[in-house]
Structure 1
Amino acid sequence: MPGMCWRSSSSSDAQRTTATNPTTSTHTGRIIMGIQAVYLSVDAAVLERVAEAPAEGLLDLVEELEEAGSPRVGLDKLWDGLHFLLTGVSASAPIEGNPLSEAVVGVQVYDCEDFIACTRNDELPAIIAALDAVSIEELLAGADFARFRKAKLYPKIWADDPAQLRAELEEAFRELRDFYHVCATQQRHVLVSIY
């Protein structure tokens, strides 16, 4: 995803939660119905493999990890809306050093074309603290989906039923926050893919 890259990376790691699994693609099982965000829990060895993978093999490696059943949470297509809800800007313009932005797009970017990034375990505490400080109910109560539409967020669902959108965004937020807690507790890293 052009525009989402702001720095490059060097490492990654994670483990299984009860969070939702994404649907499937041509390579790995993701259904090609749009751009989806998936967060994988990986250990240090896997993170090193990802960091050392050649650019042309990175997507295949991520899909291999998904197929292997790496612990994960999938935000489906809500990643851009969640980023906007938390930060006021689209995920296509991530805010470096902002833990709420990094919760959605990761910290270290490996590949800009098929957006792949990671958040190392030692980077999780700041993100978790920021997520824990969010009153998702208050944010959602004040959410103006006309602003989401005006910002041209992906995908074009922001004219749908506001109550349904609020419920889906709340669920996505809670699943992502809980996933980060599990990864931190288990000394795992988070591999982010948005494609």
Structure 2
Amino acid sequence: MGMVGAYMRVSEDELAGVLHDPDQVEELLDDEERQTDIDKAWHGLYFLLTGETDLNEIDRHSLGKAVFGGDVIDEETGMAYLTAAEVSDLAERLHFVELSALEARYDATAMNEQELYPFERDWGPEEKLYLLEQFDELKRVFKQAARHDEALITWIG
């Protein structure tokens, strides 16, 4: 199956509860209707949005937050979150990202050299199309959450 970039929409009150007691997230995870994912495109999208490949120094202050979230809830699980205000800001910023700009940043040679997940050394033209399709899903996730004034919990799992 592999590791997918997952998102769960939550209210600000639910987020506050999780931040107070991180174990509460387990109960929220039962509601699969509020969850979606960007499949295995998270590393490639992170690269296209930030120009960075190193996951040891995740940039949580740029568009990279759209992939990995902001502050970390739980180091062990890697779950992070974005407040409703951050979601709204990122939804607007993602809306203005031109597909042509992402296409221009696509560098299969660099991505293969850095062995970006999931294709490692097999990035090519078809994989670029895959990333662009998943970028549309990423924008949809943020637009939907912003429209409902929701926060997001993110994780790779």
TM-score (ref. length: structure 2): 0.86
Q: Deviations over 1:130-183 (max 9, x none)?
A: 2122112332245111111222322234515x2321221111111111211111
Identity of aligned residues (%): 28
Cα distance in 2 between the residues matched to 1:68 and 1:91? 32
- When the two chains are superposed, the root-mean-square deviation of aligned CA atoms in Å is 2.1
Give the match for residue 191 of structure 1. 153
Instruction: Determine the C-alpha separation between the residues in 1 that align with 2:147 and 2:31.
Output: 22
Secondary structure of 2:144's counterpart equals helix
Q: Is the 8 A contact 1:42 1:189 kept in 2?
A: yes
Shift of 1:184: 1.0
The answer to which structure has the higher helix fraction is 2
Runs of 5+ consecutive residues of structure 1 not aligned to the other structure: 1-32
Q: Which residue, 8, 30, 44 being the options, matches 1:67? A: 30
Relative distance call for 1:70 and 1:52 in structure 2 (3 A) is farther
Aligned length: 156
Map of 2:133 onto structure 1: 171
Does residue 1:38 correspond to 2:1, yes or no?
no
* CA pair 158-76 structure 1, distance change in 2 beyond 3 A: farther
Stretches of 4+ moved more than 4 A in 1? none
* Counterpart selection for 1:118 from 81, 97, 101: 81
Question: What is the TM-score of this pair, normalised by structure 1?
Answer: 0.71
Structure 2: gaps of 5 or more residues: none
- Inter-CA distance 91–184: structure 2 relative to 1 (3 Å threshold): farther
Name the SS of the counterpart of 1:131 in structure 2.
helix
Structure 2 counterpart of 1:83? 46
Does structure 2 retain, via aligned residues, the 8 Å contact 1:79–1:91?
A: no
Aligned to 1:97: 61
